Structure 1
Amino acid sequence: MKENSISQLKEKAPNLVGVIVKWRAITHQGLMRSQNEDAHWVAHSVEVKTETESTSRYLFAVADGLGGHRGGAIASRMALKSVKDEFHTWHGGEADRLVGRALQQANQNVFSKAQLDPELFHKMQTTLTVVALDQDSLTIGHVGDCRLYRVRDGRIGLLTRDHTMANDLLTLHLISTEQASQHPGRHQLTRSVGGEPFMNADIIRERPLPGDIYLLCSDGLWSELTEEEILVTIHENDISSACEKMVRFALRGGAPDNITAIMFRIEAIGPQAAPRFSWKRILGRQ
C-alpha cells in the first residue's frame, strides 16, 4: 500500500467517542447445585455517526433464576434475551428508558411463560440487573438481589439495594445490619422478574470516572465474601486475575449456590479516550 493511500485512510478513520472498558466475566455452577441457573451477557457496540466520529457503548447483565429444576434456568435466559433484543435497537442516549423497557419486557415474557404450564414452571422467576454505559453516564436497572459494587479512590460502595425480606426489614429499621446478615429472609425475594404481571424496578444513574472498578455479581458470590475481601481482591492490577481470584475465594467458602461475576474497569471517558489511529500498529509495525 502506498504511503499517500495510508494517509488518506487515516484521515477518514473515525475518532472514538465514549467509554473504554476492560472487563472479565466468569460463571460457575458452584459445588452443590446440579445445574447453573445463573446467566450473564456482555455487549459492546461501536456505531459510526459520521465520517470523523463513532461512539462506543457497553451493556452488562446478570440474571439469577429460581423456581425448580428447569424453571430457573429458563427464566434467567429468557430475561437476558429480552435485554439483548432491546440493546440491538439502542443507538445511544436515554439509557434509563432502554433498561426500563428491557426489564419490563423480561418480566412480561417470564410471567407469561410460567402461566402456560404452572406445574412445570411453578414459581418460575429470576433476578435481573442491567448496567448500560454510554458516553459519560452509567445506568443501572435492578430487580432482585444481584449486586453492583463500585470501587473508587480505594473505597467500596454498594450501588444496588437487595429486594429481600431481610433488607426490607433493615430499611424500616426493624432489625440491625448484624441481624440482617443472619436473617432467614436474607435471600427471600420481595421483588423478582416474572413473579407478578406488573413489576417495580429500580433505575439508578451515576457518573463513572476513569479508574472506577465495578463488580456485578449474583448472590452466590457476594454471600461468600465480605466487602473488605472484595475490596482487597479488586485492588489487583489485572482485572481478569482479580475476577478469577474472587471466584476462587467464593468456591473455597463452600459455594452452595451458582456463582457469576462480571468485573469491569473504566479506562477512559470521552473523545480523548480514543487511541490515535495508526496503520503501523494495525500492520504490526509499532
Structure 2
Amino acid sequence: MKAYIFPGQGAQFTGMGQDLYNSSEEARTLFHQANDILGFDIAKIMFEGTAEDLKETKVTQPAIFLHSVILSKVLGDSFQPDMVAGHSLGEFSALVANGTLEFEDALRLVHKRALAMQEACEINPSTMAAVLGLEDDVVEEVCKNIDGVVVPANYNCPGQLVISGSHEAVEKACEALKEKGAKRALLLPVGGAFHSPLMEPAREKLAKAIESTRFNTPKCPVYQNVTTTAVSDPEDIKTNLMKQLTAPVKWTQTMKQMLADGATDFTEVGPGKVLQGLLRKVDRQVNAESISGL
C-alpha cells in the first residue's frame, strides 16, 4: 500500500517551487490562483525571497502547503495514494491530496491558520524546545510536574519529542529533563507555543473557518495528528482538524499505525526530507523516498 506524507513548518527553502512553475502550465495556474486568494505575490517570495522572508508565519505556512499540493497535482496519474498523513500544517496538504478539501478552500484555511497562530503568539509570548534521548513517558512526567504551561507538542520519532509552553515553564522543564538524562533539551527559534493550550485563541478562530468549509468524502483515509488512526468520515476529519492546534502531533504513533495497517511504500511530497528521516527512526527497513520537485 502506498502512503504519502506531507511536511510541516520548517521545511521551507529559498527558491522552493520555482521548477514547478517553470515546467508546468497547471502549476503556473495554481500559483497565480494562490496569489489572488492570499492577496500578495507568494510565488515571488517563494522563488526570490530570502530565508528571513520565508520564515514569516503568514508566508511559511501557505508556501509549504503550495509546494506540496501543487507538486502532488502535477505528478498526475502516478500520484495514487492508499493512505495519507501530514505533520501539523502538512495535514492540510494531505486533505487536498485525498480529496477531502478543495485546493482553494484549503489554502484559505491555511492562510487563516497562519494569521491566527501569529496573533496567538503575540497574545501569549511562548516557545518550544526539542528533547533528545529520553523515553516519551519520562518527558510527559517531567512536564506534568512543572509549574506553568508546558506540554509535549510533537512526538517526532523515538527519542525525539518537542515540548511547548510559556518561556519560564519550558526553560524549567529543559533543566529537569537534562537532569533525567536527556542528551539535549534545546530551545527552538520559533514564534510561540504551537500545539499547546496557549494556541487556544488561534484554535477558536480556525474552528469557525473550518466549520463553514465544505469537507468531501475522501478517496483514501487520512491518518490525523490528533487520533493517529485512519479517518474517512468528513465530520470526524473536521472535528480532529479543529483540535489540532492545541493538541500534540503524534507523528511517531501515526507512522507506526500506518505501517501496522499495511503501508509498504512511503513518499514524502514537498520541500525537504525531514519526514523521511523521522520515518527511518521508526523503522530502518522501510521503503521511503522524497519528491521535492520535477
TM-score, normalisation: structure 2: 0.29
TM-score by length of 1: 0.30
Q: Which has the higher strand share?
A: 1
- Normalized per residue, the structure richer in helix is 2
